[in-house]
Chain A
Amino acid sequence: MPKPEKWELRLYIAGQTPNSILALKNITKYCKQHLEGRYVIEVIDLLKNPQLAEGDQIFAIPTLVRKVPEPLRKIIGDLSDEEKVLVGLNIRPIAH
C-alpha cells in the first residue's frame, strides 16, 4: 500500500475578521472529517507578517493555499461551500 499522502495547507488571514475565523473553522472541520492525521494547517496572519503575502501571491483574504501535494492550489473566501473546497483541494472526487 502506498504511503498515505501528507497535506500541507496554509491559511492566510489578516487579523481576526469574521471571514477569517469562519474560514479557519471550516477548513479545520473538513480536514478532521476527510484527512484525519494526514494534514497540517499553518495559519499566517499577514498583519503580523506582511512580507509573506508576496511569496504565495496573496491578494484576497482569506486565502487557503494547498502547498502539498503539488500542484499549488488556492481557494479564496470563507470556505463555506464544503463541496467546492473539497473539489478545489482535490481531496475527493465530486460526490454523487
Chain B
Amino acid sequence: MAKNKEETFRKTPTGISGLDEITNGGFPKGRPILICGSAGCGKTLFAAQFLIKGITDYKEPGVFMSFEETPKDLEDNFMSLGFDLKKLQSQKKLHIDYVRIERSEIEETGEYDLEGLFIRLNYAIDSIGAKRVVLDTIESLFSGMGNMTLLRSEIRRLFSWLKEKGVTTIITGERGESSLTRQGMEEYVSDCVILLDFRVIDQIATRRLRIVKYRGSMHGTNEYPFLIDEHGISVLPVTSLKLDYKSSTEIISTGLPALDNAFSTGGIYRGSSTLITGNAGTSKTILAAHFALSSCNRKERTLYFSFEESPDQLVRNMATIGINFKQAIQSKLLYIHASRPSLQGLEMHLMVLNRLLAELKPRTVIIDPISSLITIGNSSEVGAMLVRLLDTLKINQVNALFTSLTHDGYTEYSNSNIDAVSSLADTWINLRNEERNNERVRSLLIVKSRGMGHSNNQQNFTITGKGINFTTTNKK
C-alpha cells in the first residue's frame, strides 16, 4: 500500500536525521510544509537545517526569507551549530532575504497587494535556482499590517504560487491558543503539518515532534523525542516499523577459542547481538574486551562505549591481563567513547550512539554496561529505545555485545531490566562467581544462542595474565 502511494508523489529528504524514517521518505517535494510550535521550540533551527542540509547533502539551493531575524543574527546563531551561512551565500547556494516590517514606518492608504513579496521571492529563487524555501515566520506580516482580509487572501495566493513554482517550502508558525498557529496558517497548508513541543517532565526538558497531518502519505503518528545539540536537530524514532533485516551466515570468533568451541558453529554469527549478564566482578568487561580485540584483529573497526571506566583506565586495566588496546587505538581500529550515564538523558546517549555509528561505521559495537542506560530512563521509553538501537545495529550488520549488571539470586533470569534486551539478544551468556572450598570459582553458562547448538555445561575459567583461561574443556 505504501509503495503505491509513494509512487504518486515524490518526496524530498528532510535533512533532519531520523525524520525521513518517520515521514516514510521525507517531505512532499514541491509543496508547503507547516512547522508550528511555541516560542523557543526550535522552529527556526528546524527550518534552517532543512535548508542547509538541502544545500550541503542534496544539492538543492535554498532561499531563507526571514521576517524576524536579520541575516547577521542568523549567521551568528547558526555558526554555533557549525553551519557556515556566509560561505553558502558566497557560493550562491543560499540566499537570505530579510523582510523588515516596521509598522511605525508604514502608512496604509487604499488598495494594495503583496506582489512585492512575490517578486522578491521569485527573484531570490531564480537567482540561485532554489529548490527549497523557508518563510520564517510569515505571520509577522499580520502584526505589521492592518488589512487582515487582504493578507489572508494574499497568503493563500502565495502558497499556491509556491506550489506552482515547485519549491519545497517550510513555513513556520507560532502556536496559537486554540489553533495550531495564531493566524490559522494550518488552513492554508493542507499537505503536511508538523508540531514541535517543548515541555519539562520530572525536571528534564524534553522536546517532542508530532506529524499532525501528512496528506497522501503513510507516517508515524507517535510523539517523537528530538534533540538539539551541536549538530543541529535529530529525531529519535522510538519504535521502528519493520523486522526485515538480512541475516548473515558468516561465523566470527568471540575472541576466545575455547568459548567459540562451545557453539556448534564454532563461533557466533556476524551481525548478531550478544548479551553478557552477571553480578559485579564476574568479568563481564574482560569478556567484552576479548570480543573487542578479536574484532580489531580482524581489522574491523570497533566502537566501545564505556559507561563505567574512562578510556585510559580501561586500557590500563586490560593491559594487566594481556589485552592490549593501545595498538588498536593507534591504528584507529578501536574507538573508546566513555561518558557518565547520569550526565545526559537517555535520549542524548542514544543520539550520541547513533551519531558515532553513522560517523565511524564500526563493524563491532560494545556497550559496557547497557544496564546503566536502563537505570536513567523510565522503563517503557527505555525498552522501546533499546529495541530501536539494536535494530539499527542489526540493519547495519554490526556485531553487538552488551554487558548487563544483574543482582544475586534467581532473579538474574527474570530481571525486568534485562528483559528488554534479552529477548533481542541472539546469544546470551551468563557469568557467575561461586565460592567452593574457600576458593572463588568463575563460571560461564550459555543461556541461549539462536540458530546454533551450544554447550549446556557450566564452564569454569580463571583470569590470567593472558586474559580468560577456561579450565573445563568444552564439548560441542
Contacts and interface: CB of A to CB of B under 8 A. Distances in A.
B107 A59 contact: no
Contact of B110 (A59, A74, A81): A81
B119 A46 contact: yes
Interface in B77-127: 97, 99-101, 105-117, 119-120, 122-123
Contacts of B123: 50-51, 53-54
Interface of A: 12, 14, 17, 19, 22-23, 46-47, 50-51, 53-54, 57-63, 72-81, 84-85, 87-88
A73 B110 contact: no
A78 B116 CA distance: 14
Contacts of B116: 12, 14, 46, 53, 58-61, 63
A78 B122 contact: no
Contacts of B114: 59-61
A81 B100 CA distance: 25
B94 to A, nearest CB: 15
Given A57-B100, A61-B114, A47 B109 contact: no
B120 A74 contact: no
Q: Size class of B's contact patch? A: 20 to 34
Given A19-B112, A61-B113, A63-B116, A74 B107 contact: yes
B218 to A, nearest CB: 38
Nearest to B141: A59
10 contacts: A50-B119, A53-B120, A57-B100, A60-B112, A60-B115, A61-B119, A73-B105, A74-B105, A75-B106, A78-B109
A57 B108 CA distance: 15
A54 B106 contact: no
Interface in B245-264: none
Given A62-B112, A77-B108, 7 more contacts: A46-B115, A50-B119, A50-B123, A61-B114, A61-B119, A76-B108, A78-B109
A12 B111 CA distance: 14
Contacts of B120: 50, 53-54, 58-59
Contact of A19 (B111, B119, B141): B111
Contact of A59 (B99, B109, B111, B122): B99
A22 to B, nearest CB: 8
A1 B106 CA distance: 32
Contact of A53 (B109, B113, B119, B141): B119
Given A59-B101, A72-B105, A77 B112 contact: yes
Given A14-B116, A59-B114, A61-B114, A84 B107 contact: yes
A16 to B, nearest CB: 12
Contacts of B115: 14, 17, 46, 60-61
B15 to A, nearest CB: 26
Contact of B106 (A23, A51, A76, A87): A76
